[in-house]
Amino acid sequence: MTQVLVIGYVWPEPNSSAAGSHMMSLLRFFRAQNWQVEFASPAQQTEHMADLSQEQITCTPITLNCSSFDDYITQLRPNIVMFDRFMMEEQFGWRVDKFAPDALKILDTEDLQCLRNARHDAHKAQQAFALDNLLDSDLAKREIAAILRCDLSLIISDYEHQLLTSQFGVSEDLLHHLPFMVDLDAISHDVPDYHARQHFMTIGNFRHAPNWDAVLYLQQIWPMIRKQLPDAQLHIYGSYPPPKATALHNPKTGFLIKGWAKDALNVMAQSRVCLAPLRFGAGIKGKLLEAMITQTPCVTTQIGAEGMHGELPWHGAISDCAEAFAAEAIDLYQNEARYHQAQQYGRALLQARYNKRTLEVQLKQKISEILTNLTAHRRANFTGSMLRHHTLRSTQYMSQWIEAKNANKMR
């Protein structure tokens, strides 16, 4: 029986973030192969985390910078280890190499953290993002090193896939483009029609910096929309709203902070238009996929739509200018013919790019190919082998130093 160990940066919260939803899709994929799956994380458990026992997935808390993990993985003997984001590979990858050397190492990047961080820095500095900012980044060096040390990295955005191969010279053999996997057969087509829907909405975990910035940007955009549509409201959903967010709640202007949405798809389906004015970020956006699923046309930015539609038409509008963004939102809200056309574009995108059946077949084939030829696969990745060499294992020595320091404190 194949044993899979997933080392999570956080415990999955599928109703709080796209990352949580994507992680659940991967866990269910592993279970669908009749593999044993264990999820381990050093993070604190949360009120919104998924009950993995219902998925027949076992859970184990683990500790950072502690040799207890060595005994744990030795006993578990996994055939596959998947790291949730590069920080977990940094922390535990060298221990996996030492105590489970034959395990296939997969990195689920979620999005390129270095790209999101560099764009955020450029936005804060009110400068245009340039690739030089990324190439000079310490975070990029750490993240690309983690990708190279692994046997396979799952890349959610085709834009980021191309960036890794063209700018960083990462071999295609080490990468696999895997966007969100949607079970098209399970999608309900019984959604409210144009006339039954009302108001605008947006959604996103408030702890995620691009989402909070989008809320602030909407404060500039919303008055322009409200001026033309005085009865419209903007419903803003998201987990973990801080006081600075709830303070923006203003019924007089229709700018409403709704907070946690127990059923994101339901509130999305009741709204007429989704707004996502994202000014920085990376990966692909779960809220925009949910908009496609619920047939809710969306107005977003180039960053928001990046990596999501290829050459196919967007299911709504794309604009990086506040005034044009507002104008597109107003027209989409009022123009029923355009609205229905946007819905058709969304359905076409789901079928062409997010079909779970197609994506799962491709992922299974990729994993099987590497498992069958793991020794040759690793031999071809000399850079990865070099990075795993003990003289370059700075994270290993740092971890051992922290563990020793902590042990001295307890004496």
pLDDT at residue number 390: 65
Nearest to 176 by CA among 363, 351, 306, 20: 363
Compute the average pLDDT of residues 79-99. 96
> Tell me: the pLDDT tens digits for 198-208?
999 999 888 88
Domain range holding 80?
Answer: 3-182+356-409
Let me know whether 292 and 379 are in one domain. Answer: no
- Segment 200-222 shows an average pLDDT of 94
pLDDT confidence band for 392 (50 / 70 / 90): low
Both 225 and 341 in one domain: the answer is yes
pLDDT at 301 over 70: yes
pLDDT tier for residue 372 given thresholds of 50, 70 and 90: very high
SS3 content of the chain, % helix, strand, coil (to 5): 50, 15, 35
Q: Could you tell me the CATH number of the domain that includes residue 68?
A: 3.40.50.2000
Average pLDDT value for residue range 269-277: 97
pLDDT at position 47, please?
81
207 and 103 in one domain?
no
Cα 305 from Cα 278, distance rounded (Å): 9
Q: Which of 106, 85, 109 is nearest to 151 (CA)?
A: 106
Residue 376 confidence (pLDDT): 97
213 SS3 class: helix
> Do both 210 and 346 map to the same domain?
yes
Whether the per-residue pLDDT at 15 is higher than 90: the answer is no
Domain-terminating residue out of 331, 353, 375:
353
The pLDDT mean for the chain works out to 93
Tokens (6 digits) for 73: 């993985």
Q: Is 221 in the same domain as 151?
A: no
Are residue 15 and residue 91 in the same domain, yes or no?
yes
- Give the predicted TM-score (pTM) of the model: 0.91
φ/ψ of residue 19, rounded to 5: -60, -40
The answer on pLDDT for 235 being more than 60 is: yes
281 and 157 within one domain: no
Query: Does one domain contain both 7 and 27?
Result: yes
Last residue of a domain, one of 336, 353, 370: 353
> Does 334 lie in the same domain as 266?
yes
Residue 393 pLDDT exceeds 70? no
Residues 205 and 290 in one domain: yes
Residue 50's pLDDT is what? 86
Last residue of one domain, picked from the residues 353, 380, 399: 353
Chain centre to alpha carbon of residue 224:
31
Same domain, 155 and 7: yes
Whether the predicted pLDDT of 17 surpasses 80: no
3-state SS assignment for residue 404: helix
Of 132-136, 184-188, 320-324, 396-400, which one has max mean pLDDT?
Answer: 320-324
Range in 27-31, 39-43, 47-51, 75-79 the model is least confident about: 47-51
Same domain, 236 and 368: no
Q: What is the mean pLDDT of residues 120-142?
A: 89
Domain count, the chain: 2
